[in-house]
Structure 1
Amino acid sequence: MTDSVDSPHRRTKAAGKRQRLTAATARVLHEQGVERTTIADIARAADVPAGNVYYYFKTKDELVQAALAEHTGHLEELTGILDRLPCPRERLKGLIDAWVGRRETAARFGCPMGTLAVELDKRTGGGLDLAAGQVIRRLLDWVEQQFRLLGVTDPEGRALALVGAYQGMSLLSNALRDPEIMTREGARLVRELDSLA
């Protein structure tokens, strides 16, 4: 007997291919940018025939949306892991450690969400720039909550400063091709956290 068109095996296989395409899209857009990336680039990175991409994603904007969903998933996964740490200061230090752990990638390509948000802001229409901003907003909200739990004054301002420091060190690390900027600035951010009452 053969598998029906909508068999569990086929659905699982299709979901796996879609996930490979989504992960490849996020990676390739980060490395090459939206405008320079082609459907063929994504298909090659996902190891699928180029025609298959159109089965899952009809337009480049749909691929960008998939990449944003992938970044959101990574952020939720990271913050979920960090939420298991016993105190907000340790969670924030863990976040900084995760940023510094990606210093080689940042030195080559910048922050995945920061660079994508800037590039999407330069495009006209579609609202993808606003969607990218929502991913960054999730990070800001999580960081603000940690500062709020620490009981510091102006948790919103501190969250903006911390995430802004990350964006700055990613940008400088990328512009100067120097991953050690991330290491030094990350250590400075940790010292600042330790100095909070």
Structure 2
Amino acid sequence: MTDSERTAKPAASRGGKRERLAAAAAQVFHHQGVEKTTLGDIARAADVPLGNVYYYFKTKDQLVEAALGAHRDQLHAITERLDRIPAPADRLKALIGGWVDQRETAARYGCPFGTLATELDKRDDGLERGAAGVMRALIDWVADQFAQMGRDDARDLAIELVAAYQGMSVLTNTLRDPEVMSTQGRRLAGWIDGLT
């Protein structure tokens, strides 16, 4: 759903420290998982002294919340760009194309957001609700595209599309095979063409 590869060092060179730390947290959590990640890992990725991390975030959980916010902001930026495409079916196919473009990252680490959401769901601290909110925002945007295509079953189709993406991300990662993402992306684009 997001491009975590672009949120590592390149993000460290722009924006304020808080934003750099949030973007770095999203990237490092994607690569290492929340439990294995230290505040020092995030500080290094953001190119911020470790002592400064505590000025902005007192706990790792606050960094998780910031990473969720970074994912939400990135989703908003992506959908805002996609909304400039005239036809809703083309917007959906461009979304799929963006996912397929991240196939190498998915093969190595899985979906940048899906892996975080899955990890947070295993905890019992309420952070999973924040992850669910980001996922709902994606589903809502996709459902709106299907509704604009005149589909009465827009919500069901949105869940089907997002579930297909998450599934192909898991398989791409598990099999370490980027071609799974490419093949399934073409299948999903054809599926959308068949709905118009």
Scaled by the length of structure 2, the TM-score of the pair is: 0.91
The aligned residue for residue 96 of structure 1 is 96
Alignment correspondent of 1:116 = 116
Q: Percentage identity across aligned positions?
A: 60
Q: Does 1:137 align with 2:136?
A: yes
Structure 2: how far apart are the matches of 1:24 and 1:77? 17
Give the secondary-structure state (helix, strand or coil) at the position aligned to 1:152.
coil
Cα distance, 1:49 vs structure 2: 1.4
Per-residue Cα deviation, 1:63-121 (whole angstroms, up to 9, x for no partner):
00100000001100000000000010011011001110111111111111111111001
Structure 1, unpaired ranges of 5+: 1-14
Match of 2:149 in 1: 150
Cα-to-partner distance string for 1:22-47 (whole Å, 9 max, x where unaligned): 11111000110000000010011111
2:3 is aligned to none
Match of residue 184 from structure 1: 183
Quote the residue 2:44 is aligned against: 44
Equivalent runs, 1:1-197 vs 2, <5 Å: 16-125=16-125, 127-197=126-196
Query: 2 CA distance for matches of 1:18 and 1:154?
Result: 41
Aligned letter for 1:114?
Answer: G
Letter in 2 for 1:38: T
Give the distance between the partners of 1:54 and 1:188, measured in 2 at CA.
46
Aligned-pair distance for 1:153?
3.4
TM-score when normalising by structure 1: 0.90
Q: What secondary structure is seen at the aligned counterpart in 1 of 2:177?
A: coil
Per-residue deviation, residues 116-143 of structure 1 (Å, max 9, x unmatched): 1110011122x11010010000000000
The match for 2:11 is none
Output the CA distance in 1 between the equivalents of 2:187 and 2:142.
17
Number of corresponding residues = 183
Question: Secondary structure in 1 aligned to 2:132?
Answer: helix
Rounded Cα–Cα distance in structure 2 between residues aligned with 1:76 and 1:153: 25
How far, CA to CA, are the matches of 1:175 and 1:159 in structure 2?
Answer: 24
The SS at the match of 1:44 is helix
Backbone CA RMSD of aligned residues: 1.2
**SS of 2:84 mapped into structure 1:** coil
CA distance in structure 2 between the partners assigned to 1:107 and 1:74 by the alignment:
21
Structure 1 residue runs of 4 or more that deviate by more than 2 Å after TM superposition:
none
Larger Rg: 1
Which shows bigger deviation, 17-26 or 82-91?
17-26
Q: Structure 2: where are the runs of 5+ without partners?
A: 1-14
CA distance in 2 between partners of 1:46 and 1:81 (Å): 26
